[in-house]
Structure 1
Amino acid sequence: MGCNHQRMKEVTIDYALRATWQAVARMYNEEAKNFDSTMAVGFTLLSIDPKTGTPSTALGPKMGMEATSLSRILKSMEKKGLILRKPNPDDGRGVLIYLTEMGLEKRNLSKSTVLQFNEAIRQEVDQEKILNFFEVTETINKLIADKKLFSKNISN
């Protein structure tokens, strides 16, 4: 795959990340529609441990999602019969989220879709470039976590 270096100089890193993620999200949502689902539901299914369940309080941070958005998704998933909520024996106030049989089936579909996407990318992009991509995203996340992006040391 060739790339237009002149155009690349004009595109900001955040624009490339955002535009790419929006394209991926659209693709996943279109695919999820075929199974009467959404990308958010698929992502949630993949974040729930299929054997031991997952504490509801651990899901938000694991998915990088606000509690209110997650609560809405979980409510809709429960109505559709994809998950069950049970009291957490280790935490009196906590709830464990478990997959139902249908939830497990939908989880497997989501997993298959994600693996297909990853395999298709790996067929087109050599391993070294993929490792570079992960290194760049890790650096971006570290700079954000360390609050080093908007310090006075960055020159324009």
Structure 2
Amino acid sequence: MKDKTIDYVLKTTWLAVTKMYNEEAAKFDSTMATGFALLSIDPEKGTPSTSMGPKMGMEATSLSRTLKSMEARGLIERHPNPEDGRGVLIFLTDFGKEKRAYSREKVLTFNETIRKSVTEEQLNNFYEVAEKINNMISNKNIYNQKENSL
């Protein structure tokens, strides 16, 4: 893999993970995005819809489409936020909680399987590198650096 770029490895790995989760979710007429949304909703207190996009790294239009589909399938309910009259809280239905538990089980299985296949040091290195990449991007240390004047 030494001749592959870092972004190529990140992208192909994420695509493989996405494909794996979508194949598993399809067995239950669902998607990875739905499973991820289920896991992002607090099962007891609900979750403000405005906080879900940033939490999931989804654009508002994609999230809106996902939530609409989830509501139509009876996985979630929307209720006005009593603390913010303009806001909406997303709550899981009993069916949504059931599907959330299933999604959680699949994520834990994935994590356990990876943990059995790599050393703690390798996993810590992976997390460290991923955090470094995220910080560099967040702090605009890659493309938005000040140009050195000639």
Shorter-normalised TM-score: what interval? over 0.9
Q: Compute the TM-score of the two structures, normalised by the length of structure 2.
A: 0.95
1:98 paired residue number = 91
RMSD of aligned alpha carbons: 1.2
Aligned amino acid, residue 58 of structure 2: M
Taking the aligned partners of 1:149 and 1:100, their CA distance within structure 2 comes to 43
Which position in structure 1 is the counterpart of 2:14? 21
The number of equivalent residue pairs is 147
Partner residue of 1:32 out of 25, 50, 61: 25
Deviation, structure 1 residue 9: 2.2
Alpha-carbon distance between aligned partners in 1 of 2:146 and 2:17, rounded to the nearest angstrom: 34
Q: Are 2:34 and 1:41 aligned?
A: yes
CA distance in 1, matches of 2:28, 2:107: 14
> 2:123 aligns to what?
130
Does residue 1:55 correspond to 2:48, yes or no? yes
Read off the aligned partner of 1:94 and give its amino acid letter.
G
* 1:9 maps to amino acid: K
C-alpha displacement at 1:153, in angstroms?
A: 7.1
Identity %: 64
Q: Which amino acid in structure 2 is aligned with residue 24 of structure 1?
A: V
SS in 2 for 1:10: coil
Task: In structure 1, list runs of 5 or more residues that go unmatched.
Answer: 1-7
TM-score (norm 1): 0.92
Hey, what's the Cα distance between the residues in 1 that align with 2:18 and 2:124? 22
The one-letter code sitting in structure 2 at the alignment partner of 1:103 is G
Residues in 1 aligned to 2:146 and 2:48: alpha-carbon distance in whole angstroms: 40
List per-residue Cα deviations over 1:96-120 (Å, max 9, x = no partner): 0000000000000000000000000
Residue number in structure 2 paired with 1:117? 110
